[in-house]
Structure 1
């Protein structure tokens, strides 16, 4: 028999006309029935699901953009990104693993039918500006799902028990509305429990968070944690994520790919790439994008159609000097 949560999720899928979610949840009920020895009921549900899918192409239209409930409006911001993986410069390993995740999510019903769960938790770690937040947008775009971004500054409060209560509301939303949920600056929530000076309230919040992560969310929502400081995270968190992706500054090859995609036809065929990569090495993806954008805007205002490697190299060097000056403050 379906649990109360499964019944609620089934009804919600029907009301929102999300056929794929409805059928996926029905398969979860079938798997539960089979585990309890009611194979005839499980087979009947699977047969009905197969009938529902026969003769129809997989649904690729996006679900209606769901807004957070009133009590969550200050904690969660919702958007509907059109970003794709091709918009993010990624190393081959990270790209392969993200494509695998998308495949798991896209074919989650097949996995559920065989009693397996798709990947629903990933952790992105690395320096600022290396593409972590953009990756979350790309995953939402590829899966045709809304992106819900958690504002940890409003989630975490100084009042006893309030943060854990808000966190419960967030996970209720995760269990009821399928989407990509981004916990940015994740270290603010997942700090090590034995860290000196840490208050008992945050330890309780982290324990609650670990328990929430263990729950099987019936919607197969994707939870994405992103942090610049993985060394601050509690070790137990790493075990709760299906995959941990480590981002870094772009390589020389990735710099060329990124700059090419940005300047497009504004460069000559005899472009001096070694000088470009040398000047940009050590910059984040975000820094490179900003520097190139500044050069292109100057070229437009100056009436020039081409962007020279000298201008780009100078812009990258200036970006490094600016970054170093800020770090010394």
Structure 2
């Protein structure tokens, strides 16, 4: 056997501790032993695998570590977004709010040591495409945490009758694995408890309220909704912060498109374009910029022209019914 018993135990210990350097050092010892024993092909393969693993992006490693297993695999999807706070476009007050959340999380131990809890329960509400999901990604990226999105479709259909217990599983994970936990389209879960609600729906909301109240400050729970009006009002006081989103103002709309176009947008007469950005969300502005960019590239141009941008914006507005 190429690897000794001590090598195997050392590999397991270093893997369990998350110590990549120690793991690779032991693996190289195994490769060296293989070479001494005349197993040159095996030794070469091991070295190539180690080199490839060391060069793999950090984000890929974090995502792999964060990938849900067991029951959580059917309830959560893992990702490691690459969007940063500087990528968000909006009023300065909006960025200041997120900067406050980030600072409290980065210095959470100091706050906890003085008996205070950092902001860790956020409700994001506003029209579709205004940046709510992107905000969760920014929080994850800035804090070097995985983004774990709760699969509400599975939670509310596949596990109907077990939803409260599955919710407990998610919140227990939040206590043991530091991450940003996103409940997207939260209104599917947090609708009013009164009226014609069945008993199961009432139990689900009650369970969520209890779990949210007790959730560990080590993780961040983000709920995003397009329909604040249908949410149970008892939910609002359980969140540390409610952030409202709206359609971008003309100046911010232009910044969104400039960021997406990059060099392709140089020299464009944005004063002509600006009036056509009205009533469009962040996501629709990005799509319009991409459409104009593709038209320019297919023509062989190195920049977009005003008519392409305006046509793309008007098409997005028509498609959205504005």
What TM-score does the superposition give when structure 2 sets the normalisation length? 0.78
Q: Secondary structure of 1:73's match? A: helix
Displacement of 1:259: 1.6
Q: Which residue of 1 aligns with 2:241?
A: 243
CA contact (8 A) 1:118 1:220 kept: no
The secondary structure found in structure 2 opposite 1:156 is: helix
For the 8 Å contact 1:68–1:173, the answer to whether it is kept is no
**Equivalent residue, structure 2, for 1:309:** 306
Q: Is the 8 A contact 2:171 2:215 kept in 1?
A: no
Aligned to 1:225: 223
| Alpha carbons of structure 1 residues 185 and 16: separation in structure 2 relative to 1, 3 Å | farther
2:137 matched to 1:137? yes
- Aligned pairs for 1:268-287 (under 5 A) are 268-269=266-267, 271-287=268-284
Tell me, in whole angstroms, the C-alpha distance in 1 between the residues paired with 2:228 and 2:160. Answer: 26
CA contact 2:174–2:215 (8 Å) conserved in 1:
no
Q: Any idea what SS the aligned residue of 1:253 has? A: helix
Asked whether the 8 Å contact 2:75–2:150 carries over to 1, the reply is: yes
Pair 16,209 (structure 1): closer, same or farther in 2 beyond 3 Å: farther
Residue 103 and residue 16 in structure 1: after superposition, are their counterparts in 2 closer, same or farther (change >3 A)?
Answer: farther
More divergent stretch after superposition (165-174 vs 256-265): 256-265
Distance 1:290 1:239, change over 3 A: same
Equivalent-residue separation in structure 2 for 1:124 and 1:283 (angstroms): 19
Question: Aligned pair 1:267/2:265, yes or no?
Answer: yes
Whether the 8 Å CA contact 2:295–2:308 is kept in 1: the answer is no
Q: Distance in 1 between matches of 2:296 and 2:306?
A: 12
Gaps of 5+ in 1: 1-14, 19-60
C-alpha offsets along residues 124-143 of structure 1, whole Å, 9 cap, x if unaligned?
00000000001111110000
1:16 Cα offset (Å): 5.1
* Residue of structure 1 equivalent to 2:55: none
Cα distance change of structure 1 residues 149 and 158 upon mapping to structure 2, 3 Å threshold: closer
Name the CA distance, whole Å, in 1 between partners of 2:281 and 2:257. 12
Residue 167, structure 1, aligned to residue 167, structure 2? yes
* Greater CA drift, 77-86 or 176-185: 77-86
Shift in alpha-carbon separation, 1:115–1:290, aligned structure 2, 3 A: same
1:67 positional shift: 2.0
Computing the radius of gyration from Cα coordinates, the structure with the larger value is 2
Q: Matches of 2:160 and 2:313 in 1, distance apart?
A: 47
SS of the aligned residue for 1:98 comes to helix
Q: Distance in 2 between matches of 1:183 and 1:17?
A: 28
Q: 1:150 maps to what in 2?
A: 150
Which residue of structure 2 aligns with residue 298 of structure 1?
295
Q: Offset of 1:273 from its aligned partner?
A: 2.0
- Is 2:252 aligned against 1:254? yes
Higher deviation after alignment, 134-143 or 273-282: 273-282
Q: Provide the residue aligned with 1:38 in structure 2.
A: none
Shift of 1:274: 2.8
Distance 1:179 1:300 in 2: 39
Per-residue CA shift, 1:100-151, capped at 9, x if unaligned?
0000001111111111111110010000000000111111000000000011
5+ residue gaps, structure 2, are 1-15, 20-57
Structure 1 CA distance for aligned equivalents of residues 291 and 266 of structure 2: 19
Inter-CA distance 145–268: structure 2 relative to 1 (3 Å threshold): closer
CA contact (8 A) 1:122 1:242 kept: yes
Deviations 1:33-63 (A, max 9, x none): xxxxxxxxxxxxxxxxxxxxxxxxxxxx989
CA distance in 2: counterparts of 1:216 and 1:75, whole angstroms: 17
Q: CA contact under 8 A between 2:137 and 2:147: conserved in structure 1?
A: yes
**CA RMSD for the aligned pairs?**
2.1
